[in-house]
Structure 1
Amino acid sequence: MRGGLARRLVLWTLPGVIAGAAVRVFALPGQNLFRTLVAALLLPLGLWLCLRTLHPARQRPDAAEPSAPALAALALAVGVVGGIYGIGGGSLLGPVLAARGMSMARIAPATLAATFTTSVAGAAAYAMLALASSGPVAPDWWLGLACGLGGLIGGYLGARLQRHLPETALRLLLGTLAAALGAQYAVQALS
């Protein structure tokens, strides 16, 4: 968590999540459009991660981590998307960085730090935007605290278990979960 990757991800996802919250409140207020957007992001992302895990691209050992400008652009874009659908962004950063070949041991703490920081900033942004909006956009604080506590416990346990699980299994699990969640949102958007 002390590494430069975590700092860079947090630095660039924060402005994105605030901008994304404003986009969600003022430009994408409907549930159906929201579900379609989430499905369009998570389904291909999960499938891409599974395919890259089963059929990895040949890379130089130093090519796994994106360049500083590419990482900044990725984190900013993920922050915007995370702000739009009210999550920290780790659910998107993790699969993208894993598909690029970075190790899960390096990705997990950095994306958890970005997720925690941007979740807090996103909740604050939605609370402020609720004052300027006529719709129901204020966060449900008790639900958020319960989910946050569950996420902290799950994150701790996952970090303890991670080193005992094969990297390929973790990548496939992450890809499958992202694709399944995307498929579920697609079904909900179509019905």
Structure 2
Amino acid sequence: MWVHGVTGFSAGLLIALVTAPVGVSGAVFLLPVQLSVLSVPSPAVTPTNLMFNIVATPGALLRYRRHGSLASPLTVRLVLGTLPGVVIGALTRVFAVPGAREFRLIVAAVLLPLGAWLCLRTLRRPTRHPPRRELSSTVVVTLGLVAGVVGGVYGIGGGSLLGPVLAGLGLPMAAVAPAALTATFLTSIAGAATYVVLSLTASGDIAPEWFLGLLCGMGGLLGGYLGARLQPRLPETGLRLLLGALAVGLGILYLAEGLSGQPVAQ
């Protein structure tokens, strides 16, 4: 058990250190570790991953709060979409059990070209900032709703989807990162609570693995704080390239697992 705990803590720290500067909690990269290395049963792996988000993201959020970058209209609109979305996703995961293979292939089809486009667009104009855009409330809430449903089903928070999309639409990383992380944090609380309630009425491994989720989250808490502290020191170009590379890497991972037929969360 302690070996698993140390492994989970280390994985959470390293993942959050890299992903926090671009508004991604890192749960999407922790999910394969929990399944393949730590042998977390399903569907308990989903709320365990959400628990990681709950414990890990406050470190980054605290750092962003010191810069006054949390309370923004973008954050409010994302949360309005992600909160109902995660409840829908949790109910779907427990009672409908959607096809994991199809989900992986869809995510790969979205993230691979999106990440590649974001990288290429950034490299073409390394000295210029992309135009800042104002997105309508309907668009932002809809994006949040979709990300919330995905987060509720697979426990990946949604920031890994929201970050590349919002950055690709022209929003600055200084606004995208704290908004995506805040939405991930609040959504994960609602999602984990939904799974706990469902565990009282449904059979199977539905409740989170509390000990492992806590240790993974503690690693993520430290890594997220350090990553958010680095963010203001990193150039916009570098942050966009990092986010694009993470999207491409995640897309390749899900494509490989989708083609092999091995479920991400089953």
Q: TM-score, structure 2 length as denominator?
A: 0.62
1:158 corresponds to 2:222: no
Q: Could you give the per-residue CA deviations for residues 70-105 of structure 1, whole angstroms, max 9, x where no partner exists?
A: 111111111112212112211111111111111111
Question: Which letter maps to 1:15?
Answer: P
1:110 paired residue number: 179
Contact between 2:130 and 2:170, CA under 8 Å: does it hold in 1?
Answer: no
SS of the residue 1:137 aligns to: coil
For 2:206 and 2:112, the matched residues in 1 are separated by: 26
Deviation at 1:148, TM superposition (A): 2.6
Q: 1:123 to 1:40 in 2, by over 3 A?
A: farther
2:46 paired residue number: none
Alignment equivalent of 1:126, drawn from 195, 205, 209: 195
Further displaced range: 19-28 or 7-16: 19-28
1:172 paired residue number: 241
Q: Which consecutive residues of structure 1, in runs of 5 or more, have no partner in the other structure?
A: none
1:90 paired residue number: 159
For 1:106 and 1:26, the matched residues in 2 are separated by: 36
Deviation at 1:14, TM superposition (A): 0.6
Question: How many residues are matched?
Answer: 188
1:186 corresponds to 2:255: yes
Q: Could you give the per-residue CA deviations for residues 130-171 of structure 1, whole angstroms, max 9, x where no partner exists?
A: 344444332222232233333332222222111211111111
Matches within 5 A, 1:1-191: 1-29=70-98, 31-55=100-124, 61=131, 64-191=133-260
Contact between 1:88 and 1:117, CA under 8 Å: does it hold in 2?
Answer: no
Deviation at 1:29, TM superposition (A): 5.0
Contact between 1:34 and 1:85, CA under 8 Å: does it hold in 2?
Answer: no
